[in-house]
């Protein structure tokens, strides 16, 4: 329903995470002191009770008419119990007039009249009306075209930065205007409907904890990777959209390409003083402003056409101290992974060296085994030659020549050791004859 009370347009709690204290206080002050207008935050004093309500329904679209069977409903509102209860409904007359009589006053109860116009249901809270016999409800013909919708101001503010976690809390207030005379309502039953047919806004990559509030009639928020889209009807006139989210940045800042499918009369960015710098296309010089006793730097650009994009760079943002970085390292699981990798690499190195050494020693051992095997054969041949000589099978000259030759071969073996000398195998210079 439309009205002065702000409407939560998402089925999630509209609450900024506890990491960003004072967020909505800053938002309220920011809005109240002239950055943007947000009627949803205003309050109206209750008027004296009246026993009868009279009014008229009009069509604000040029050439539009009020259907003859158009219905107006009366609700009672119990703010203490947070209840809205339908009391009675009536059909407007030929001239669009309606009335409700015999109203009964109850403590803490106010009334609201609602025009049942389908997806768009304009309403009036009687607590803000001085004359209950002159209530006016305006309906409009519908359109699915976004051509008449524009952004009059786009204010993006970073009220809180957590240097240790490199997280920034962002508040954005967008003032939109429907400059036509029809209410924009998307055709959700159209099979060809795309995100381009919805009221949409993009956000920085990696945003989280998105929360959206607006002055628009109730609708749905469709969160997507690049931002969000809205199905809320947009009647002629001005309305404000308030959003909050968290962005994590790497290094000393982040980049954000702000897309303006509806253009923007003014774009303004605010960052805490000492929290970094802001650059972007069309921005003027940096100014200092004070919000809730805190100093912010501000940059501003004007007159961006529909479809324009602004490459915005936030840099020089606060960083964690070395002690915080070290503390977070050991409090997290990262150091466990690092230790596992270091130990693993060390073990692989040790295993590789052991395998290499084993193969090298095995090669040397094989060479020595071949060497010893060759010497053993020579010694065995010498022993056999000695037996043949003692048996008279070989004459002395032939025996001496052959034995000397075998001894020479044994002595010339590579790395021959004293323990490997032929005599060490129990072979003497030969039998005496």
| Cα(84)–Cα(90) distance, integer angstroms | 18
Q: Where are the domains of the chain?
A: 45-141, 149-320, 335-425
For the range 366-375, what are the long-range contacts, defined as Cβ-Cβ under 8 Å and sequence gap of 24 or more? 371/413, 371/414, 371/415, 372/420, 374/413, 375/410, 375/413, 375/416, 375/420
Topology (CATH) of 45-141: Immunoglobulin-like (2.60.40)
| Cα(409)–Cα(378) distance, integer angstroms | 8
* Closest of 130, 118, 167 to residue 49, by C-alpha: 130
Report the CATH architecture of 149-320. Sandwich (2.60)
pLDDT of residue 419: 47
pLDDT of residue 17: 33
pLDDT of residue 347: 72
| Cα(226)–Cα(221) distance, integer angstroms | 13
DSSP reduced 3-state for 277: strand
Dihedral sign from CA coordinates of 31, 32, 35, 38: positive
Residue pair 58/49 in contact by the 8 Å Cβ criterion? no
pLDDT means per 10 residues, the chain with 433 residues, are 35 33 49 47 54 94 93 91 90 95 86 92 91 95 96 94 88 96 93 88 94 92 92 96 93 94 96 91 90 89 96 90 60 57 71 69 55 67 78 79 78 54 51 55
Q: Which residues contact 287 (CB under 8 A, 6 or more apart)?
A: 297, 298, 299, 300
Q: What is the DSSP letter of 359?
A: H
Q: Write down the pTM of the prediction.
A: 0.66
* Two tokens, residue 264: 């923007």
Buried b (16+ CB within 10 A) or exposed e, 3-38: bbbbbebbeeeeebeeebeebbebbebbbeeebbbb
* Two tokens, residue 275: 């929290």
* Two tokens, residue 284: 């003027």
Looking up tokens 């669009």 gives: 96
pLDDT of residue 7: 31
pLDDT of residue 127: 87
Let me know if the fold of 45-141 is the same as that of 149-320.
Answer: yes
């Amino acid at each position: 329903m439309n009205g002065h009370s702000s409407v939560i347009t998402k089925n999630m709690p509209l609450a900024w995470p506890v990491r960003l204290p004072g967020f909505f206080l800053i938002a309220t002050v920011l809005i109240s002191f002239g950055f943007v207008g947000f009627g949803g935050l205003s309050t109206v004093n209750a008027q004296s009770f009246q026993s009868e309500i009279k009014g008229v329904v009009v069509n604000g679209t040029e050439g539009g008419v009020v259907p003859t069977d158009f219905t107006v409903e009366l609700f009672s509102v119990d703010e203490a119990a947070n209840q809205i209860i339908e009391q009675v409904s009536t059909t407007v007359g030929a001239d669009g007039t309606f009335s409700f009589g015999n109203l009964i006053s109850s403590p803490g109860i106010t009334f609201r009249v609602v025009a049942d116009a389908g997806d768009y249901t304009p309403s009036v809270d009687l607590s803000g009306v001085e004359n209950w016999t002159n209530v006016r409800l305006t309906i409009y013909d519908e359109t699915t075209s976004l051509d008449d919708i524009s952004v009059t101001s786009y204010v993006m503010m970073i009220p809180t930065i957590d240097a240790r976690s490199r997280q920034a809390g962002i508040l954005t207030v967008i003032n939109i205007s429907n400059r036509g005379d029809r209410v924009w309502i998307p055709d959700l039953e159209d099979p060809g409907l795309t995100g381009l047919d919805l009221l949409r806004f993009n956000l920085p990559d990696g945003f989280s904890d998105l929360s959206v509030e607006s002055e628009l009639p109730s609708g749905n928020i469709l969160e997507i990777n690049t931002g969000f889209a809205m199905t809320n009807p947009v009647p002629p006139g001005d309305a404000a959209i308030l959003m909050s989210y968290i962005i994590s940045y790497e290094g000393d800042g982040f980049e954000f390409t702000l897309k303006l499918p509806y253009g923007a009369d003014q774009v303004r960015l605010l960052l805490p003083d000492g929290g970094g710098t802001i650059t972007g296309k069309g921005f003027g010089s940096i100014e200092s402003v004070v919000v809730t006793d805190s100093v912010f730097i501000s940059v501003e650009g004007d007159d961006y056409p529909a479809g324009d994009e602004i490459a915005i760079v936030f840099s020089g943002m606060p960083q964690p101290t070395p002690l915080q970085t070290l503390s977070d390292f050991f409090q997290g699981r990262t150091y466990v992974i690092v230790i596992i990798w270091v130990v693993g690499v060390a073990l692989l190195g040790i295993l590789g060296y052991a395998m290499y050494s084993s193969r090298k020693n095995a090669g040397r051992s094989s060479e020595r085994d071949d060497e010893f095997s060759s010497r053993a054969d020579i010694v065995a041949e010498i022993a056999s030659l000695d037996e043949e000589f003692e048996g008279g099978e070989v004459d002395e000259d032939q025996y001496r020549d052959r034995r000397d030759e075998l001894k020479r071969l044994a002595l010339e073996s590579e790395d021959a050791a004293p323990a490997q000398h032929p005599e060490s195998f129990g072979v003497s210079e030969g039998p005496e004859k």
